[in-house]
């Protein structure tokens, strides 16, 4: 049937009055017609005419819910005759039997009365107040608007018109009737009324563009406006094979400022180098059994030809390529090979590099993948410079996350990714303009392009049950600013390096996130960590976790965390051939938050149990006062546990290599007979019954006893060693190697009474010369211990601050020498002996009798 579209119309938000200019509606409009503003689908709402007032005025069945418009084009379309209520078949409908069959089927819902032989049956009963057109609208499909649903015909207009008609009628269901609908332009699905798109059925996007969206629920002109409840159930959305080959394809579904979105048993497949889902500010959102499979996007810093292979031998750091591939800029970058992530320490030549860590296992002629491209951006700038030329104008509109390029100040100063979009790409493919300027300078920082599922700021109260993201490149799941989120039964399976021009980075990124996650993390990643948690100030809980981790890769890293943040990790089961050194430090945290591991890590390597760790303390552990009187902290374990209670009650031992090496206890010790008043000990040795060194306390005498036990004759029981901390700096002459001080309290403070020290007296070489010094505190004249005697390494003994040698290297006594005029007071030095250099008659020695100094012949020295 022909549509009427003469003149223009004016629509006002919230009003049911439509004003026309140049219109003749009395003759060309009628109750029940569809009024559709143009151009569509930019304006996606349609409404029904309630009455025709005059040639220039219509009233609608419900107030106009869209934006206000003045002087825009329109069309009036009938879907039934206003006089007879007979359904009309639209022009161009390829399936006229559909409407006929529905009209016949609907009659069975009414009670039939009248002459059974009559050709016309009058419908009566409970539903007689409904028109046949209303009955048709109970189950509307795109086929009713001319769609074919064969996956070949362009059904864009039919799908849009069907959706608009249902919205205009106040909401309802659009049934896809198990057909495949090909669309060549975005579908505008914003709605102010509840809507459902119900399958089974498929929608195939056959158009390209990184900035485009296949199913766009976001408002077309005011993204901050929230759509009403939208439910999509049992629907499959994908890109066509042609778009997959050409790329980048559109985002499959976008819903910014999302309220009440329900995705149930939906599939999003073959998204060509773009995000599958882009969401933000989700409120009361539910995903249930959502499956995503496809590409994603992560440009690598260097593509590797498929014919180029790499080799490395277990226990070595020599990485060899079969063809020229390396250059000096690769130093410090990551490359994955044979289930291990290697950091390249240096480049030897174009075919050889040195890795920072040794290879866990030998890989011969294996495929490798470089990490994703990095970039640099300055604070206050919207220009991002990539390290390699990887982009083109086709990437304009793509979402991009620049790590550590945004400074937030609430609740504390933290760095988080800058989440924005690409607005321009220079001809060099490296200089990129983004929509938002950085607020922190980020240099050589990782870049995330178009996560498979992207959830931007403002989300609160979103539940994801059985979200599966399979075979993604780049990052599978990325949250930026979300609270009260539950991810249950999540599966993130990255692509195992099947394409050399793409790279998988993080399985998931949680920025400013609070919620609970459990699931399966699988596939290979060329990144230092599998899961990244950044700029969090709340609680993030990973309850149960399974999957794999690559060697020399963290399971989870936390960066720029706030003091109030708590990241709790439950049990983790890994099925990869992971090395023990990787599990020695499976987590990392920077900032002020707390990482609390509350479960177990189980891993298998070649069907051999590698490790089952109990609680890992990566932060200081505080015991609340009064929480338990005895003991404050209790350790229970066996001889294979790193820290265990062995040897009886009230003991704690450190076990290394399965052997007890240190024991702390407060009771008896069987290997050493000591007083029965033993008040505790620390034992250091190689077994639980034969210790080498004991530090004991005697409760009776309060002595502290350090004892070394050995059967080796002439051994040194205790050794104290000193090195200077600076690398390559030896101890210097005058350095104190050992000092033992005796302190006593004067009622105010502890003062030195005396000390024994060992000092170095010469340059360290093949031997280090030294001396033992005895010092004591004098009764007055000094507040420091004064050197009394020094025993030197040259066999001499000196006295009083190393001034006077009293025994020489030949073990002979040495007298202090004076002149007759400098001899000290004889009375103060009774019976002392001294040497004189100018004695009468050549006398060399004098002795004090308490009154005078006398020569050896008894004559007074004068």
Q: How many CB atoms lie within 10 A of CB 750?
A: 10
CA distances for 107 relative to 88, 130, 131, angstroms: 17, 12, 11
Residue with tokens 């000290």: 824
Peptide bond into 41 cis (omega under 30): yes
Overall average pLDDT of the 304-313 stretch: 91
Residues found in the chain: 862
What is the pLDDT at residue 772?
Answer: 93
Counting residues of the chain whose pLDDT is more than 90, the rounded percentage is 44
Look at residue 104 and give its three-state secondary structure: helix
- Going by pLDDT thresholds of 50, 70 and 90, the confidence category of residue 733 is confident
Integer CA distances (angstroms), 529 to 475, 561, 587, in order: 12, 16, 9
**What is the per-residue pLDDT across 164-211, written as a single tens digit (0 to 9) for each?**
999 988 899 999 999 999 999 999 999 989 999 999 999 999 999 999
Q: Diameter of the chain by CA atoms?
A: 171
Domain boundaries, the chain: 1-139, 145-296, 310-370, 374-449, 465-613, 643-708, 736-807, 817-854
Distance CA 143, CA 102 (A): 12
Q: What is the mean pLDDT of residues 64-76?
A: 88
Burial call 318-343: b when 16+ CB within 10 Å, e when fewer:
ebbbeeebbeeebeebbbbbbbbbbe
Rounded CA Rg of the chain: 43
DSSP 3-state assignment of 527?
coil
Report yes or no: 691 and 683 within 8 Å, Cβ to Cβ. yes
Q: Which of 196-200, 241-245, 271-275, 829-833 has the lowest mean pLDDT?
A: 271-275
319 sits in which H/E element: strand 318-321
Structure token digits, residue 432: 């990129």
Are the C-beta atoms of residues 206 and 173 closer than 8 Å to each other?
no
Name the E strands within 22-171. Answer: 34-37, 47-54, 57-60, 69-72, 74-77, 111-113, 122-124, 150-154
Asked whether residue 465 carries a pLDDT value surpassing 90, the answer given is: yes
Take residue 588 and report the two structure tokens written for it. 């990392």
pLDDT at 110: 45
Residues 6 or more apart in contact with residue 373 via CB below 8 angstroms: 299, 300, 301, 386, 387, 388, 390, 447
Choice among 395-409, 583-597, 811-825 with the minimum mean pLDDT: 583-597
CATH homologous superfamily for the domain 145-296: Single-stranded right-handed beta-helix, Pectin lyase-like (2.160.20.10)
Distance from C-alpha of 227 to C-alpha of 253, rounded to nearest angstrom = 14
Task: Give residue-wise pLDDT tens across range 692-718.
Answer: 666 666 666 666 666 666 666 655 555
Comparing 509 with 413, which gets the higher pLDDT?
Answer: 509
Helix (H, G, I), strand (E, B) or coil at 805: strand
- pLDDT for res 169: 87
- Give the integer Cα–Cα distance in Å for 760 and 798: 15
pLDDT at 54: 93
Decide if 439 contacts 379 (C-beta within 8 A).
Answer: yes
pTM for this predicted structure: 0.64
pLDDT of residue 162: 93
Asked if residues 734 and 741 have their Cβ atoms less than 8 Å apart, the reply is no
pLDDT digits (tens, 9 = 90+) for 110-152: 444 444 443 444 444 444 455 555 555 567 899 999 999 999 9
**Is residue 518 reached through a cis peptide bond, with omega within 30 degrees of 0 on the bond before it?**
no
Contact 508, 477 (CB under 8 A): yes
How far are the Cα atoms of 321, 448, 485, 612, 767 from residue 492, in angstroms, in the given order? 31, 16, 17, 24, 62
pLDDT value of position 30: 85
The answer, yes or no, to whether residue 644 has pLDDT greater than 90, is: no
pLDDT tens-digit readout, 368-387: 989 989 999 999 999 999 99
676 or 339: which carries more pLDDT confidence? 339
How far apart are the C-alpha atoms of 303 and 499, rounded to whole Å? 9
* CB-based contact 229:260 (threshold 8 Å): yes
pLDDT score at 736: 84
Mean per-residue pLDDT for 754-769? 87
User: Residue written as tokens 């002439």?
Assistant: 714
Averaged pLDDT score across all residues of the chain: 81
CA–CA gap between residue 208 and residue 268 (Å, rounded):
16
């Amino acid at each position: 049937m022909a549509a009427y579209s003469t003149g223009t119309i004016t629509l006002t938000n919230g009003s049911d009055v439509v004003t026309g200019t140049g219109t003749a509606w009395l003759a060309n409009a009628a109750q029940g017609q569809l009024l559709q503003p143009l151009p569509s689908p930019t304006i996606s709402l349609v409404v029904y005419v309630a009455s025709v007032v005059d040639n220039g005025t219509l009233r609608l069945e419900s107030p106009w819910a869209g934006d206000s418009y003045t002087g825009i084009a329109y069309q009036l379309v009938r879907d039934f005759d206003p006089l007879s209520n007979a359904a009309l078949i639209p022009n161009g409908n390829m399936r006229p039997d559909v409407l006929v069959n529905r009209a016949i089927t609907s009659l069975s819902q009414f009670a039939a009365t009248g002459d059974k032989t009559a050709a016309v049956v009058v419908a009566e009963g409970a539903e007689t107040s409904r028109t046949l057109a209303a009955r048709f609208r109970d189950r509307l499909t795109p086929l009713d608007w001319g769609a074919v649903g064969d996956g070949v015909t362009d059904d864009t207009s039919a799908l849009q018109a069907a959706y608009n008609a249902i919205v205009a009628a106040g909401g309802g269901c659009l049934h896809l009737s198990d057909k495949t609908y090909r669309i060549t332009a975005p579908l505008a699905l914003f709605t102010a009324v509840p809507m459902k798109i119900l399958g089974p059925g498929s929608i195939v996007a056959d158009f390209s563009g990184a900035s485009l969206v296949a199913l766009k629920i976001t408002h077309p002109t005011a993204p901050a406006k929230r759509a009403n409840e939208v439910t999509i159930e049992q629907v499959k959305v994908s890109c066509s094979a042609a778009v997959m080959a050409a790329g980048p394809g559109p985002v499959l579904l976008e819903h910014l400022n999302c309220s009440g979105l329900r995705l149930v048993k939906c599939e999003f497949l073959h998204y060509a180098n773009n995000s599958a889902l882009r969401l933000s500010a989700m409120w009361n959102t539910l995903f249930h059994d959502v499956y995503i499979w496809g590409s994603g996007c992560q440009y690598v810093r260097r593509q590797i030809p498929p014919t180029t292979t790499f080799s490395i031998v277990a226990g070595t750091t020599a990485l060899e390529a079969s063809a020229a591939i390396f250059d000096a800029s690769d130093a410090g970058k990551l490359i994955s090979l044979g289930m291990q992530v290697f950091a390249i320490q240096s480049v030897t030549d174009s075919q050889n590099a040195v890795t920072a860590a040794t290879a866990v296992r030998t890989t011969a002629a294996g495929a490798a993948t470089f990490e994703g491209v990095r970039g640099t951006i300055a604070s206050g700038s919207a220009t991002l410079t990539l390290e390699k030329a990887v982009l083109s104008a086709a990437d304009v509109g793509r979402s991009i996350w620049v790590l550590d390029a945004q400074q937030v100040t609430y609740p504390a100063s933290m760095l988080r990714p800058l989440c924005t979009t690409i607005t321009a790409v220079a001809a060099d493919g490296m200089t990129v303009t983004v929509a938002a300027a950085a607020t922190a300078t980020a240099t050589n920082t990782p870049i995330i392009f178009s996560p498979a599922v992207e959830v931007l700021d403002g989300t609160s109260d979103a539940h994801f049950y059985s979200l599966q993201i399979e075979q993604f490149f780049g990052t599978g799941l990325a949250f930026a600013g979300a609270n009260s989120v539950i991810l249950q039964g999540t599966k993130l399976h990255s692509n195992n390096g099947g394409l050399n021009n793409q790279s998988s980075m993080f399985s998931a990124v949680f920025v400013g996130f609070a919620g609970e996650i459990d699931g399966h993390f699988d596939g290979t990643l060329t990144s230092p960590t599998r899961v990244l948690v950044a700029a969090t100030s709340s609680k993030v809980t990973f309850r149960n976790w399974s999957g794999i981790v690559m060697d020399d890769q963290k399971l989870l890293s936390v960066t720029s965390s706030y003091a109030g943040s708590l990241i709790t990790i439950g049990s983790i089961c890994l099925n990869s051939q992971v090395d023990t050194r990787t599990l020695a430090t499976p987590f990392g945290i920077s900032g002020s938050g707390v990482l609390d591991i509350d479960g177990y890590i189980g891993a298998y390597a070649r069907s051999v149990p590698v490790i089952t760790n109990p609680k890992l303390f990566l932060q200081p552990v505080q015991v609340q006062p009064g929480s338990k009187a005895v003991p404050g902290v209790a350790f229970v374990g066996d001889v294979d546990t790193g820290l265990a209670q062995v040897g009886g009650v009230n003991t704690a031992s450190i076990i290394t290599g399965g052997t007890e090496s240190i024991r702390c206890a407060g009771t008896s010790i069987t290997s050493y007979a000591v007083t029965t008043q033993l008040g505790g000990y620390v034992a250091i040795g190689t077994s639980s019954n034969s210790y080498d060194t004991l530090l004991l306390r005697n409760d009776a005498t309060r002595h502290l006893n350090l004892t070394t036990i050995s059967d080796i004759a002439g051994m040194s029981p205790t050794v104290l060693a000193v090195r200077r901390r600076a690398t390559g700096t030896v101890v210097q002459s005058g350095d104190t190697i050992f000092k033992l001080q005796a302190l006593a309290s004067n009622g105010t403070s502890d003062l030195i009474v005396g000390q024994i020290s060992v000092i170095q007296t010469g340059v360290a070489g093949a031997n280090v010369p030294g001396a033992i010094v005895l010092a004591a505190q004098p009764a007055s004249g000094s507040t420091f211990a004064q050197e009394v005697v020094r025993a030197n390494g040259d066999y001499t003994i000196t006295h009083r601050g190393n001034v006077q040698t009293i025994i020489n290297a030949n073990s002979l006594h040495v007298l202090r020498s004076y002149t007759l005029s400098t001899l000290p007071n004889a009375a103060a030095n009774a019976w002392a002996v001294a040497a004189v250099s100018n004695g009468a008659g050549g006398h060399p020695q004098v002795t004090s009798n308490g009154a005078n100094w006398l020569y050896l012949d008894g004559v007074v020295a004068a």
